[in-house]
């Protein structure tokens, strides 16, 4: 350690919002292949809530500094770092891997047996400083704010991998995007439209649906007012959708399966409403459906997404910005599903 201390949002035991503690902890000492980043902003994800609450059967190495998405300025670099120097403004790729196994060397680093995520398996960026692997440093576009730079990596990478690598979404297809107000949902609406698909987005309020329309959604359904399956039948003339972008789990699973056309694909990255989803196996083989699991994506895909952001074809969606001192309020807002897009804290 450097001997210096810093402020950080730490979880020492699982539980409610009160378990997020603002504490003084040692500034990390980077390895030779790492950089010390002075954090400017950190974006919250549902992962932060899981780490704080705990997940049955899934141990987290507590205590943990939260934050898988963050941006900042390089303070110093280790002797083996060649792709960054002090003063560089950077975004951080949230996932890291061993870099030497067959999966990593083939470009599928998210399939590495040792894959991890900042703020989940290693201290993250809700702190004044973070030690970051050189391979995870991405140049922040000069025109991009630090808050925008901290909002996009995990959600945009996850959505891109789901729609492109897993579901192979094609122009003209219908895609159902659940919870368009979430980080991955707001990214998926943009990406699906960019890929030439027809986008049917759901959300819990008309205000969120209006925002989804602005991002490119062709049709919107308020799931608090209308049955989503019946809406899908109405909008698609009883045909159904080709792809379902699923990340909420048990609450939407039955609707998702029923909404698919014959030969349709369901791709899922999460289960925020519960993981005990059930369905009739006969539907799977009679309708020749494909159920696709997806977690994160490769660092190469992250560079592709960053280039699309630079071109203005995709844009980060930030709902609100709070100081790190209000990290508990950020958790409360996310749990209440108040946001459209991302909640970001500044450091």
β-pairing verdict for 5-11 and 20-26: antiparallel
Asked, for residue 305, whether it belongs to a domain, the answer is no
**Sign of the torsion angle spanned by Cα atoms 232, 225, 197, 276:** negative
Q: Are residues 257 and 121 in the same domain?
A: no
- The string of pLDDT tens digits covering residues 223-277 is 999 999 999 999 999 999 999 999 999 899 999 999 999 999 999 998 888 888 8
Q: Are residues 277 and 333 in the same domain?
A: no
For residue 335, give the CATH number of its domain.
Answer: 3.90.180.10
Q: Are residues 111 and 162 in the same domain?
A: no
Asked, for residue 311, whether it belongs to a domain, the answer is no
**Which domain does 189 fall in, by range?**
156-293
Which three-class secondary structure state does DSSP give residue 111? Answer: helix
Q: Are residues 140 and 29 in the same domain?
A: yes
Asked, for residue 185, whether it belongs to a domain, the answer is yes
For the chain, what's the residue count? 347
Please check whether residue 11 is in contact with residue 62, taking contact to mean a CB–CB distance below 8 angstroms: yes
Please check whether residue 175 is in contact with residue 187, taking contact to mean a CB–CB distance below 8 angstroms: no
Total domains in the chain come to 2
- The string of pLDDT tens digits covering residues 121-142 is 999 999 999 999 999 999 999 9
What lies within 8 Å, CB to CB, of 43 at 6+ separation is 67, 69, 70, 150, 151, 152, 153, 154, 183, 342, 343, 344
Q: Are residues 18 and 117 in the same domain?
A: yes
Asked, for residue 329, whether it belongs to a domain, the answer is yes
Out of 1-10, 74-83, 98-107, least confident range:
1-10
In angstroms, the CA 220 to CA 252 distance is: 16
Q: What is the mean pLDDT of residues 325-333?
A: 97
Q: What is the mean pLDDT of residues 180-195?
A: 97
Which residues pair with residue 153 across a beta bridge? none
The torsion angle over the Cα atoms of residues 222, 227, 229 and 234, rounded to 10 degrees, is -80
Q: Say what percent of the chain tops pLDDT 70.
A: 99
* pLDDT value, residue 2: 58
Asked, for residue 48, whether it belongs to a domain, the answer is yes
Average pLDDT, the chain: 96
């Amino acid at each position: 350690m450097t001997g210096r201390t810093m402020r950080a949002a730490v979880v020492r035991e699982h539980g409610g919002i009160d378990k997020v503690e603002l504490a003084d902890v040692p500034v990390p000492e980077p390895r030779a292949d790492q950089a010390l980043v002075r954090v400017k902003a950190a974006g919250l994800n549902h992962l932060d809530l899981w780490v704080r609450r705990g997940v049955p059967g899934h141990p987290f190495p507590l205590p943990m500094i939260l934050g898988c998405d963050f941006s900042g300025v390089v303070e110093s670099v280790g002797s083996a770092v060649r792709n960054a120097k002090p003063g560089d403004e950077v975004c951080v790729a949230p996932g890291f891997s061993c870099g030497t196994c067959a999966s990593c060397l083939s470009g599928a680093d998210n399939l590495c047996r040792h894959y991890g995520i900042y703020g989940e398996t290693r201290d993250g960026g809700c702190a004044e400083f973070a030690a970051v692997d050189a391979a995870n440093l991405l140049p922040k576009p000069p025109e991009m704010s630090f808050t925008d730079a901290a909002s996009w990596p995990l959600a945009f990478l996850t959505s891109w991998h789901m729609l492109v690598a897993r579901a192979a979404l094609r122009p003209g297809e219908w895609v159902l995007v659940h919870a368009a107000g979430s980080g991955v949902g707001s990214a998926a609406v943009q990406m699906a439209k960019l890929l030439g698909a027809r986008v049917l987005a759901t959300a819990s309020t008309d205000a969120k649906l209006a925002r989804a329309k602005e991002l490119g959604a062709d049709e919107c359904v308020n799931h608090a007012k209308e049955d989503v399956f019946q809406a899908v039948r109405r909008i698609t003339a009883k045909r159904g959708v080709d792809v379902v972008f699923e990340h909420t789990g048990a609450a939407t699973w039955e609707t998702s399966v029923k909404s698919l056309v014959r030969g349709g694909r369901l791709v899922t990255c999460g289960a925020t409403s519960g993981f005990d989803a059930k369905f009739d196996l006969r539907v799977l083989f009679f309708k020749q459906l494909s159920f696709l699991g997806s977690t994160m994506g490769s660092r190469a895909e992250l560079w592709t997404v960053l280039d699309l952001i630079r071109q203005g074809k995709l844009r980060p969606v930030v709902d609100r910005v709070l100081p790190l001192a209000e990290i508990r309020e950020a958790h409360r807002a996310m749990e209440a599903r108040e946001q459209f897009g991302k909640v970001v804290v500044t450091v």
